[in-house]
Amino acid sequence: MTYYFSLNLSSQDYLLYYQGVIHTIVVTTDEGLRLEFPAMHLRKFTTATGIKGRFCLQTQDNKFLSLNKVS
């Protein structure tokens, strides 16, 4: 399955992941579905201001396959 969503996390919000306070991220897809996935998959999209943009999450049999920034 392919899911699209927008994300706007401040660097302070994502800092909670690095501190070990949070381990998962919950997003709402464009279709209104609630998805939860490991926060570590967002690490490569982190900037000094946080994580912002549109993303595409791909799964197969409810298993994580990939996460890509699309804009």
Structural domain harbouring 42: 2-66
Summary mean pLDDT of the chain? 93
Looking at the domain assignment, is residue 42 inside a domain? yes
Looking at the domain assignment, is residue 71 inside a domain? no
Rounded Cα–Cα distance for residues 33 and 43 (Å): 23
pLDDT grade, residue 29 (50/70/90)?
Answer: very high
Domain count, the chain: 1
Q: What is the pLDDT of residue 59?
A: 95
pTM of the complete model? 0.88
Q: What is the pLDDT of residue 35?
A: 94
Looking at the domain assignment, is residue 18 inside a domain? yes
